Amino acid sequence: MLYDRAGFEREGRVNEQFRYSGDPADLSALFPGTQGRTYLSTCTRGLLPVPARAALDVHLDGLENGTTDKDALFSCIDRTRASFARMIRCDTDEVAFTKNVSEGLNIIAASIDWQPGDNVVVCLDVEHPNNVYPWLNLRERMGVDVRSVPQREGHVDAQSLIDAMDGRTRLVTLPTVSFSPGFRADVATVGNVCRDRGVFLLADAVQSAGILDTDVGALKVDGLAVSTQKGLCGLYGMGFLYCRRAWAERMTPAYLARFGVDLGDAHEAAFGSDNYTLMPAARRFDLGNYNYPGAVVAEQSLAILNGIGTRTIEAHVLCLAKRLIDGVLALGLAVPGGEAGAHTSSIVSIGKVGSGGHDTSDDPMVTSLSAHLSEHDVVHTIRRGMVRLALHIYNTEDDIDRVLEVAKTWSAKNAPN
């Protein structure tokens, strides 16, 4: 058993060893945050699995005792990079280490050779602010035209993005899944057009990574940024940036340090010469020392998620999402997007699109339902005026039935007939 520190130390890393038995009790032991309440808030923070915590403790012990082995940390970086690459089906060197989504998006924004009159196409209404400001900043600094298309009832409309492109479009950006209301975007449709026209397609995938099966080749994205604190069940301050080799190797990083330069097996602090070669693909975007605690944790979490398999995770989560949507609709409550369909992700919102501020609602029914859910230990959020519930592999049918039961008792007293 790897579910406590002793087990972790006895059996070594989870890496390559974790095999999901299919028994939810295993997952409940792996993710103790699921116990004693209904945790439906992976869209803010995923739960840390026990082996990740154990690995972090071992790492901190090394720092406290002065026994840290730097080569072992570099090996951990290599394994973690390879593991994320396996998850999204790209080459290992197409993955850079970042600190979050924002840094990944900004690395791409800063590394394109913008020319006057170039434009970026985006749906600002639906984006998280961290995929808004990089483009507004580019407009201020470089005069890049930021073309925002309107949302369609909470959806990022693929055809609207395509229609807004012209011969001066250099980059299109979209979220694979929006943070609110949580709709899945039709990335591949946009990706096919971008690929044909040589336009960079950049995805913010933080709300889908580790939860929905992701194949960057099939989606035809050129860049994809994530942070590890949500579906990847890791720490804040750690992220990954995928950049497709064909693009990355045409890009000059805006920031450069030792790890972005190819010096073969030379020491980490060695200087080669002022005539240098950039690292292959996305590795040129790596900067100085890594977030080792974040990587030590991500290695374990990725091993667990890859061990289960993202196809299995996606199937599980979409099945739960459908059960939840059907149950909420049966109570007569509004679910943006209606019945489950191609737009469905791991996030289910309750309420109406456009009914509130960032974490408040103008709809008293939403505020009241949210308070009732909290009173009954259903961990959730309000986003853009709606109750937001989010699922991962550690959620179960029992969680869904419980939240529906709690919503039913609220509905019996409060909902309109």
Ligand X SMILES: Cc1ncc(COP(=O)(O)O)c(C=O)c1O
- Taking contact as CB under 6 A, which single stretch among the options 202-210, 255-263, 357-365, 408-416 is the one that binds ligand X? 202-210
Of 53 and 128, CB closest to ligand X: 128
Q: Which of residues 64-123 bind ligand X (CB under 6 A)?
A: 100-102
Of 280 and 293, CB closest to ligand X: 293
> How far, in Å, are 72, 160, 259, 326, 355 from residue 220 at the CA level?
35, 18, 27, 32, 34
Residues 6+ apart with CB under 8 A from 323: 397, 400
Q: Residue 43 Cβ, how far from ligand X at the closest point, in Å?
A: 7
Strand partners, 184: 177
Query: Strand, coil or helix: what is 152?
Result: strand
**Residue 175, amino acid:** P
Of 54 and 241, CB closest to ligand X: 241
For residues 2 and 49, give the distance between their C-alpha atoms in angstroms, rounded to a whole number.
10
Of 179 and 259, CB closest to ligand X: 179
Of 101 and 211, CB closest to ligand X: 101
Q: Return the C-alpha torsion angle 128, 322, 186, 359, nearest 10.
A: -10
Q: Which of 130, 173, 395, 411 binds ligand X (CB under 6 A)?
A: 130
Of 86 and 128, CB closest to ligand X: 128
For residues 148 and 174, give the distance between their C-alpha atoms in angstroms, rounded to a whole number.
11
Check residue 128 for interaction with ligand X (CB under 6 A): yes
Check residue 206 for interaction with ligand X (CB under 6 A): yes
CB 342: neighbour CB atoms within 10 A? 8
* 247 close to 90: Cβ distance less than 8 angstroms: no
Q: Residue 177 Cβ, how far from ligand X at the closest point, in Å?
A: 7
Q: Which of residues 375-414 bind ligand X (CB under 6 A)?
A: none
Check residue 207 for interaction with ligand X (CB under 6 A): yes
Q: Residue 189 Cβ, how far from ligand X at the closest point, in Å?
A: 20
Q: Residue 226 Cβ, how far from ligand X at the closest point, in Å?
A: 8
Torsion sign over Cα 71, 77, 80, 85 = negative
Cis peptide before 181 (omega within 30 of 0): yes
Which tokens in the block code for residue 235? Answer: 């720490």
Q: Residue 290 Cβ, how far from ligand X at the closest point, in Å?
A: 17
Q: Which of residues 14-33 bind ligand X (CB under 6 A)?
A: none
Of 30 and 120, CB closest to ligand X: 120
Of 231 and 327, CB closest to ligand X: 231
Check residue 175 for interaction with ligand X (CB under 6 A): yes
**Residue listed under structure tokens 């259903």:** 378
Q: Residue 70 Cβ, how far from ligand X at the closest point, in Å?
A: 27
CB 16: neighbour CB atoms within 10 A? 12
Torsion sign over Cα 299, 304, 309, 313 = negative
Q: Residue 90 Cβ, how far from ligand X at the closest point, in Å?
A: 20
- Binding residues with ligand X: total (CB under 6 A): 12
- Taking contact as CB under 6 A, which single stretch among the options 53-61, 151-159, 204-212, 387-395 is the one that binds ligand X? 204-212
Check residue 349 for interaction with ligand X (CB under 6 A): no
Of 128 and 402, CB closest to ligand X: 128
Residues 6+ apart with CB under 8 A from 192: 220
Q: Residue 405 Cβ, how far from ligand X at the closest point, in Å?
A: 28
* 364 close to 8: Cβ distance less than 8 angstroms: no
**Residue ranges with strand state E in 149-255:** 169-175, 200-204, 223-227, 239-243
Q: Residue 230 Cβ, how far from ligand X at the closest point, in Å?
A: 7
Check residue 227 for interaction with ligand X (CB under 6 A): yes
Cβ neighbourhood burial of 3 (10 Å; 0-12, 13-18, 19+): middle
List of residues contacting ligand X (CB under 6 A): 100-102, 128, 130-131, 175, 179, 204, 206-207, 227
